Amino acid sequence: MPPAIPRHIAIIMDGNGRWAEARGMRRIKGHEAGAESVRAIAEECARLGVEQLTLYAFSEENWRRPRLETEFLMRLLKRFISAERETLIRNQMRFSAIGRLDRLPANVRRELDKTVRMTADNPKTNLCLALSYGGRAEIADAARRIAQAVKQGRLKPDDIDEATVAAHLYQPQMPEPDLVIRTAGEMRLSNFLLWQVSYAEFHVTDTLWPDFRAEHLHAAIEDFNRRVRRFGGLVARPAAG
Ligand code: IPE
Ligand code: IPE
Ligand code: MG
């Protein structure tokens, strides 16, 4: 039987700096090489029929890095989005972004908006970039909007439940991630999709992001297929059920 394909795969793309440093190159060269992996993995997910691919590209905390690096990353992002629009359209993929996007430079936001608009009706994989994204920030932003709804009389405090919180996240319609992959070996979430990953399966590989290709994705999906998901109950459900 072919492996079941997760509906939503989320990836913490880590190790660009280490990849470059191991080659005696500057860290930014690792980010450039990592962009190639994004293209390869996005195309493979479209081919496999993955419904959503969320890529952690820049965290809210990454603004703490030296300005030269964050400025380079913003330029790379702008270049990448405009260059890859064609790839997205050719593969009939949708594009979206989550995070505190208002912190991004205006020229990056323009490219993002344009790509979202141009791919909005596409039927295949939703490629979602997490940019200036933090899981705690997302939950705090949701809490603020819920409080506003209560203040305006649109919502009663007693009616607030998990579904209310979920409905106020950046992308309420996203299926929860089934599989979270982290490259470069670190066993932590680094503030990624904290609300949404409560029952995701976790796959960590030592492969650095710029080396990550379709074969590594397939290995992660095979690993996922060996998991037994119980969601707190006693009845085992096959991984991608
Ligand atoms: C991931 O690679 C990309 C971003 C966080 C923007 P890193 O830049 O974190 O690479 P390492 O972890 O230093 O190797
Ligand atoms: C997580 O990687 C963020 C992204 C991949 C965008 P980091 O390299 O920022 O994570 P830490 O600092 O090692 O936790
Ligand atoms: Mg890192």
Instruction: Give the position of tokens 């908006």.
Output: 113
Query: How far apart are the CA of 151 and the centre of ligand 3, in A?
Result: 40
Domain count, the chain: 1
Q: How far apart are CA 174 and CA 125, in angstroms?
A: 12
Which ligand 1 atom minimizes the distance to the CA of 57? Answer: 6
- Reading the chain (241 residues) residue by residue, the pLDDT tens digits are 788 999 999 999 999 999 999 999 999 999 999 999 999 999 999 999 999 999 999 999 999 999 999 999 999 999 999 999 999 999 999 999 999 999 999 999 999 999 999 999 999 999 999 999 999 999 999 999 999 999 999 999 999 999 999 999 999 999 999 999 999 999 999 999 999 999 999 999 999 999 999 999 999 999 999 999 999 999 877 775 5
Query: How far apart are the CA of 17 and the centre of ligand 3, in A?
Result: 7
DSSP label at residue 153: T
Residue type, 129: L
Which tokens in the block code for residue 26?
A: 């500057």
Q: How far apart are CA 5 and CA 14, in angstroms?
A: 23
In a domain, 147, yes or no: no
Residues in the 5 Å CB sphere of ion ligand 3: 14
Confirm whether pTM is higher than 0.95: yes
- The sign of the dihedral angle between the CA atoms of 37, 39, 238, 169 is positive
CATH number at residue 204: 3.40.1180.10
In a domain, 236, yes or no: no
Residue 50's domain spans which residues? 8-134+177-225
In a domain, 30, yes or no: yes
In a domain, 161, yes or no: no
Verify whether ligand 2 is closer than 6 Å to residue 14 (CB atom): yes
Verify whether ligand 2 is closer than 6 Å to residue 133 (CB atom): no
